[in-house]
Amino acid sequence: MKYPTTPDGRYFVVKGQLWRCSNPALGVEQRQEWVNALMKARQAVKFAKRTEDVGALKSARASVNEAKIALGERGPVWWSDGAADFNRHKAVNTPYREWFESLQA
């Protein structure tokens, strides 16, 4: 498994770091609209960097952030059980440590 997902489905792991998954409660069409917006915004970031357009870069990054919040990958957590958010934490420094270490065995 290239990017393993935590047993609760909240995170996937890249190079030992947890990244929040998209909100599974989003409808298929709604999720796809935001994924499309995210890809478009990322292309705008790339273009703004290449052309060294500071204003466009700021706007494009804001669009990336908006899409990620809408997808549930940033901003308030999408789960409701009161569990803490470990987005961008090393897996070994979280309650997912045992699970993550079991993948390495």
If one counts every other C-beta atom within 10 angstroms of the C-beta of residue 46, the result is 12
At residue 105, the pLDDT reads 74
Distance between CA 56 and CA 66 in Å, rounded? Answer: 15
pTM of the model: 0.88
Whether 18 and 94 have beta carbons less than 8 Å apart is answered as: yes
| Tens digit of each residue's pLDDT (9 = 90 or more) over 12-63 | 999 999 999 999 999 999 999 999 999 999 999 999 999 999 999 999 999 9
| Tens digit of each residue's pLDDT (9 = 90 or more) over 59-87 | 999 999 999 999 999 999 999 999 999 99
Residue extents of the structural domains in the chain? 1-21+77-105, 26-72
